[in-house]
Amino acid sequence: MPTPILHKESLIPGKTSKLVLHAPQIAQKARPGHFVMLRMSEQGERIPLTIADTDRENGTITIVYLVMGKSTAMLEALGVGDAILDVCGPLGHPTHIEKRGTVVCVGGGTGIAAMHHIAKGHARIGNKVVGVIGARSKDLLLFENELKSFVDELLVSTDDGSYGHKGLVTELLRDRLEKDKDVFEVVAVGPVPMMAAVAETTRPFGVKTTVSLNPIMVDGIGMCGACRVTVGGKTKFACVDGPEFDGHEVDFPELRRRLAAYREQETISIEEYRR
C-alpha cells in the first residue's frame, strides 16, 4: 500500500535523512528492534530499514537512512506529499527488554538512530541507560539531543576529535566497563566493523552483548536465504531469527564477505541511475 511521507528532515545534507511516514497499522504493532521492508518502484528491490521511532497516537513511524546506493538514492529523491510504493512490517523479532539495571547502548553513525529506539525501550521500562555514540566528525553525529532527553549518561566520540572524546566508541565503552561493574547488557547498532569491535571489547568483561545485524535482505520474511548469517556455528536468517544476535557468537568475517558480494553490480546500478 502506498505510504505517504508526512515529514522529511535532512540530518546530514545529501547523506542522511529522516522520514516520518503515515503507517498507522505498523505504528500500532512496532516495538524497538523491528524493521520494515520498503520498495520504491514496481521493478525495484526491497530494502530493510529499522524503525527509529513510532507515534501510535498519530499513526506514524520514523525511519533514518544513509544514502548508499540506488534504492536509498531513490528514497532520498522523494519528499513530503510523495508516497513510498510499499512499506511492509513490522518485521523481525523486537529487542528483548526487561528491567534488570544498567544497559549500555552503543550507536555508530547512522546506527545511532536505530539504537535510539532500543535505548528508549530500556528507559521506559526503568533500566538505567548509558548511551555511547560516535561519528567520524561532529557534523555527522545524529540524535544527540533526542538521546539526552531520556538517557542517564551520554558518552560521545568523534574519530577526528571535533567533538567529545577523540577516537572510537569502543574506547569509551571499555573505559565505562572498567569504571563500574554494574552493566548487565551492551547493545550495539552500526557498521559491521564497529559491532565486531564492540563484541571483542565486552568479551573479557563477560557482559552479554547484543548486535543488530544488517546483511543484504531480499524478501525479509525467511523465504529467500539472502540474509544468511552464522551465529554460534549455526545458520540463521537475520530477518526471521534476528536481526539481533549474541555478538560473541556472530561470524563477522563471513558477514563482511557476504555484504560485499554484489558490490560490482551495486556500483553499476547507482552509476546507471545517476546518468
Residues that bind ligand NAD (CB under 6 A): 50, 66, 108-111, 114, 134-136, 157, 159, 168-170, 189-191, 193-194, 197, 212, 214
Structure-block grid coordinates of residue 8: 522529511
CA distances from 140 to 8, 118, 268 (A): 18, 21, 27
Q: Which is nearer to ligand FAD, 6 or 73 (CB)?
A: 73
Instruction: Give min distance, CB of 92 to ligand FES, in A.
Output: 9
Q: What residues from 233 to 272 belong to the interface with ligand FES (CB under 6 A)? A: 237, 239
Q: Residue type at 70? A: K
- Dist CA 20 CA 84 (whole Å): 11
Could you tell me how many residues make up the chain? 275
Q: Which is nearer to ligand FES, 242 or 247 (CB)?
A: 242
- Dist CA 163 CA 191 (whole Å): 20
Partner from ligand FAD, ligand NAD, ligand FES, none binding residue 237, C-beta < 5-8 Å depending on class: ligand FES
Query: Which residues have C-beta within 8 Å of that of residue 135, sequence separation ≥ 6?
Result: 108, 109, 112, 141, 142, 158, 159
| Torsions phi, psi for 172 (to 5 deg) | -65, -40
227 binds ligand FES (CB under 6 A): yes
223 binds ligand FAD (CB under 6 A): no
Partner from ligand FAD, ligand NAD, ligand FES, none binding residue 210, C-beta < 5-8 Å depending on class: none
Partner from ligand FAD, ligand NAD, ligand FES, none binding residue 220, C-beta < 5-8 Å depending on class: ligand FES
45 binds ligand FES (CB under 6 A): no
Query: Within 10 A of 194 (CB to CB), how many other CB atoms are there?
Result: 21
Partner from ligand FAD, ligand FES, ligand NAD, none binding residue 260, C-beta < 5-8 Å depending on class: ligand FAD
CA-nearest of 153, 72, 171, 66 to 110 is 66
Residue 114 near residue 210, CB atoms below 8 Å? no
Strands 53-55 vs 60-66: parallel, antiparallel or unpaired: antiparallel
CA-nearest of 141, 6, 129, 135 to 79 is 6
Instruction: Give min distance, CB of 158 to ligand NAD, in A.
Output: 7
Q: Which is nearer to ligand FES, 91 or 103 (CB)?
A: 91
Residue among 114, 118, 135, 156 that touches ligand FAD (CB under 6 A): 114
Stretch that binds ligand FAD, among 69-77, 120-128, 133-141, 147-155 (CB under 6 A): 69-77
35 binds ligand FES (CB under 6 A): no
Size of the site for ligand FAD (CB under 6 A): 26
CA distances from 174 to 170, 177, 190, 202, 265 (A): 6, 5, 17, 7, 39
